[in-house]
Structure 1
């Protein structure tokens, strides 16, 4: 399993990004850097992710597969928690990933690190 670290590169209210706003995602990746669907389906445990906001607040989430690809869901609300669509095809340093909330606002994150673990 890889740990993917992303930093906010753009938000409507922060057009220059914010280094204190990040996502840490754990996922099995293919050699091409894509999320490994077979590994996801075979794993009985959810794949964790953590959103750290600029004020230091941490929000525990998990990666879930949806029709359009992938999303993050809060671990607090169970299956009824709102989904935040994760638009990213390749998870390698330098790639961009867009996180869209239920209100469709897009936050763009840049992957800064991918490491085993």
Structure 2
């Protein structure tokens, strides 16, 4: 597998842990999080205290609150809670390559 930048949609504990795993494998990672303070802390201090306290993050993880910042990537790990996945993916601009669903939770059927 080449050293392409990968994206992670979801800056909670699970998404941040997956981003760290990808970064520890030598990849650059763009991590989308809903909360601006989480993004700021990841970029400035390489930590995600609200969701993954006590863990230093690789500096190759760059966080953003803009889904458009991930639109050019070949692969995205979708790590939002299942009940928010539909709304978040509907906001994603066209462009990303493969989506790998890593969601947890229960999505109730509508209709």
TM-score by length of 1: 0.29
Higher strand content, 1 or 2: 1
Higher helix content, 1 or 2: 2
